[in-house]
Chains A and B, each alone.
Chain A
Amino acid sequence: MKSKKHILILDDDIDIIKFLVKVLENAGYAAHYATSLEDFNSQLKEIGPHLLIIDFKLGQTTSTGIHLIEKLKKSSSYRSIPTFLISGSLNKKIITMATQLGADEFIAKPIQTNIFLQKIKKSLKLHELPEIIFDIPKTIKCQSSGDIAQISESTLRIKGPVKFAEGVELKIQSSFLEHLGCQVCRYHTQTSDRVLGPGLYLNEIRMIGVKEETTKKIRLIKATIKNK
């Protein structure tokens, strides 16, 4: 079974958002929404959506949506996400400008549901990555960033984009851990991986070979936090 495609909407009109969410969910997509740029940016990182729908006019300011599209299309992380501009005042000038800045498709308000869904389906298909089947090698090396969410004398919890299997050996580069004197530690993943959201996992990692001096420093951190 194929997993649902995630679509993130940015619009300041809650009634249009409710409408789009309803239409998209009825069509089998996972719809997410934001009513502010700040919320949009945060969800963009957390969800890793397959498609974006951005309103041309946010609040009283015109063309905010276009500037956002321009920014996204300049970003190496987000430029490949198909991005739709939605507007109640689409005209040739806006379409030309948005096309030059990288918008992939345009949706005029009022929204014609059938046309809207056809465009979504077509764009997602066009941007679909080819299915690659390969023999899984015994080891895969990968590098990614993550945040240390929790630390104790023997375990770490790291929030990041990779879900590890049990017992995987990790190499962790962290100035925080270096400061605690963990250069000599080895790190092995444990079983309790938790999915925090699409593309975001909490990995529990066992620390092996922790020196007494390091455990003291960790306890001191905890005591300081408790006392605050």
Chain B
Amino acid sequence: MTEIILVQIDADLEDIVPSFLENRKKDLVQIENFLKEKDWEHIESIAHKLAGNAGSYGFNDLGEIGVKLEEACQQAQFEEIKKYCDQYSQYMDNVKVEYK
């Protein structure tokens, strides 16, 4: 059974969080294509942004995945890249937001 990832986000950000999460799903579609092409550079670029923006919104664990994915891309470690892309995908499937 998959566990829900519950994240508490500042209520001031309520109207911009849905589009943020939508954009992350779009990133995942792109990442899937880049993985097939072994295009680490573009995945790194997506991961770099994720590392900076996710934590700012309050998705700290997602930001951490971004940091690790960016590092893995810089070292071109395929297994690690795949691992963190999977973690990214799982996070997006299971995240639930609660505004405080």
Within 8 A of A (CB), among B22-36: 23
24 pairs, A vs B, C-beta closer than 8 Å: A13-B52, A13-B53, A15-B23, A15-B49, A15-B57, A18-B16, A18-B19, A19-B13, A19-B20, A22-B12, A22-B16, A23-B12, A26-B12, A57-B48, A88-B48, A109-B53, A109-B55, A110-B51, A110-B52, A110-B54, A110-B63, A111-B55, A111-B56, A113-B56
Q: Which of A15, A23, A60 is packed against the most chain B CB atoms within 10 Å? A: A15
With beta carbons under 8 angstroms apart, the residue of B41, B51, B57, B60 that contacts A19 is: B57
With beta carbons under 8 angstroms apart, the residue of B10, B48, B53, B60 that contacts A15 is: B53
Q: Is A196 an interface residue (CB 8 A)?
A: no
Bound-state Cα–Cα, A57 to B44, Å = 13
- Measured between beta carbons, the chain A residues less than 8 angstroms from B60 are 110
- Measured between beta carbons, the chain A residues less than 8 angstroms from B13 are 19, 22
Q: Is A14 an interface residue (CB 8 A)?
A: yes
Q: Is A165 an interface residue (CB 8 A)?
A: no
With known contacts A110-B63, A111-B56, A19–B49 Cβ distance under 8 A: no
- By the criterion CB–CB under 8 Å, are B48 and A19 in contact? no
- By the criterion CB–CB under 8 Å, are B12 and A109 in contact? no
- Measured between beta carbons, the chain A residues less than 8 angstroms from B45 are 60
Bound-state Cα–Cα, A109 to B56, Å = 7
- Measured between beta carbons, the chain B residues less than 8 angstroms from A26 are 12
With known contacts A26-B12, A60-B41, A18–B54 Cβ distance under 8 A: no
- Measured between beta carbons, the chain B residues less than 8 angstroms from A15 are 19-20, 23, 49, 53, 57
Mask for A22-45, Cβ within 8 A of B = 1, else 0? 110010000000000000000000
Bound-state Cα–Cα, A87 to B49, Å = 10
Q: Is A16 an interface residue (CB 8 A)?
A: yes
With known contacts A60-B41, A111-B56, A18–B20 Cβ distance under 8 A: yes
- Measured between beta carbons, the chain B residues less than 8 angstroms from A89 are 48
| Least distance between A163 CB and chain B CB atoms (Å) | 35
- Measured between beta carbons, the chain B residues less than 8 angstroms from A23 are 12
| Least distance between B17 CB and chain A CB atoms (Å) | 10
With known contacts A88-B48, A109-B51, A110-B63, A19–B56 Cβ distance under 8 A: yes
- Measured between beta carbons, the chain B residues less than 8 angstroms from A109 are 51-53, 55-56
| Least distance between B16 CB and chain A CB atoms (Å) | 5
